[in-house]
Amino acid sequence: MRTLKRVTILIVVLVFVGGYLYIHATPERLIRSNLFFNGYFTTAFTTDVYKANIDSHYGQFYACKNPAIGPDHYAFIKKNGLWYINWNGTGGG
């Protein structure tokens, strides 16, 4: 019984860590997951994500084809090979 609990906990931890790494692997996945967890369940996966202009302070912006469902553009920070949303450079919407 103890082994079953340990294996179950290990599987749950691996699923969470794997999901976290999968979501933060690319800016496109990060935008889609952010929209999904903000309540835009279907439009998060159907909207087009593209590279927008480059800002001198925040770097490369990414934008959604449908800006009514979230911010107009997203700025990102890359740390240790993973992408994170820079909320200071993200805006609009």
Give me the pLDDT at residue 59, please: 80
Give me the pLDDT at residue 82, please: 93
Give me the pLDDT at residue 26, please: 92
Give me the pLDDT at residue 37, please: 92
Residues of the chain with pLDDT under 50: none
d(CA 10, CA 68) in angstroms, rounded, equals: 40
The answer for residues whose C-beta is within 8 angstroms of residue 54's C-beta and 6 or more apart is 60, 61
d(CA 39, CA 42) in angstroms, rounded, equals: 9
Cα separations in angstroms, 56 against 49, 59, 63, 67: 21, 6, 17, 22
> Angle CA(7)–CA(8)–CA(11) in degrees, nearest 5?
85
